[in-house]
Structure 1
């Protein structure tokens, strides 16, 4: 079972978007948190940088690292879970299904979020994957193929939980079944890409058929 993080496990997008907006406004690209969400939703930092530099000019060499450090500090103090998400992950793991988290976040940010939510030990270091662990971030399938490998599973036997267009495309590109958590993106849009929409994390164990062996996924 392969989980995205932002918007799926961690209610972090508003916080992160606010910090990104503040950082870009300081460099001359005036932006609100909502505008940051519309511009960068689901994007990894390497894909954000060319967009930013087209508006602000070249960024200092450590700008991305310093932004990640600032975000990670805030996440450790402020981020809250998506309702029902932690219990759903624990229910899946308790059923003997390997779990991994694959995020377009920097690793520093991803670890901060999962530690704050009390899920880092459940995933373990090898099954917390950021864009830094793979050649290409989402929407390429690299992250979910790597997450499946970390679980010892074939991607075709894995289920991905995603909430963004880039994430859904990544899961499908990896060859996984994708469940689309309806939050930031409308159900019809997720379904149009090929995801199976659902509306509450409490429904996740049932969608995996944990009570019926014939419906159960391997990962």
Structure 2
């Protein structure tokens, strides 16, 4: 495959390792409202899903969530994330390789800008590289798995979807990338990526592998 002209990264679990604490918080909070889930279930059913859609799904599965639950869970989440989350191993080297190849990159996340201000903002050098190229599904009509977010990022950067590559760690995100007509790499450093390859994504096992997969 040829080099992409734009690489769009998800944020949580791809740039910053924020999934473990946020998913644990989500599991504990849903249990307060009558929905008991294992971490495996939370990971499979809710990872990468927009919070408004999580609320809909949780209610359908029996959670008695209050009307202001989405706002409330974000408040709790922001407080947890302010304690700090590490960068994904290899992400800075990967961005260096993209810069050296002259390939631009952007961020497309289901999370709100305020959340990325916290997680990415805790790493100023990385945040500075991404400013002006960060896109949130909260500014779209729908979040992933809808492709609007990735298509919006590509249009802003002036790149055709067929010339873009998406890096995402969730089924919802990978589905969005594929629906957008973009080459989609499913990031799963802790497994074999079968839940992502099953829908047509390529498995990316370590961020340091990305430059060679993109033919840089």
TM range (shorter): 0.7 to 0.9
| Gap regions ≥5 residues in structure 2 | 1-6
Mapped to 1, the partners of 2:136 and 2:75 lie a distance apart of: 15
Larger RCO (alpha carbons 8 Å, 6+ apart):
2
> Among 41, 45, 50, which residue is 2:47 paired with?
41
Mapped to 2, the partners of 1:133 and 1:184 lie a distance apart of: 31
Point out the structure with the larger helix share: 1
Answer with 167-176 or 24-33: which moved more.
Answer: 24-33
> Among 185, 193, 207, which residue is 1:201 paired with?
207
What pairs up with 1:47-196 in 2 under 5 angstroms? 47-54=53-60, 55-61=62-68, 63-118=69-124, 119-124=126-131, 126-183=132-189, 186-196=192-202
How many residues align? The count is 208
**CA distance change for structure 1 residues 185 and 47 in 2, over 3 Å: closer, same or farther?**
farther
TM-score (norm 1): 0.85
Contact preservation (8 Å) 1:111, 1:128:
no
What pairs up with 1:11-50 in 2 under 5 angstroms? 11-50=17-56
**CA distance change for structure 1 residues 30 and 197 in 2, over 3 Å: closer, same or farther?**
closer
| Gap regions ≥5 residues in structure 1 | 211-219
**CA distance change for structure 1 residues 28 and 195 in 2, over 3 Å: closer, same or farther?**
closer
Mapped to 1, the partners of 2:36 and 2:188 lie a distance apart of: 29
Mapped to 1, the partners of 2:197 and 2:214 lie a distance apart of: 18
Cα deviation digits, residues 127-164 of structure 1 (max 9, x gap): 21122011111111111101112222111111111222
Mapped to 1, the partners of 2:97 and 2:166 lie a distance apart of: 16
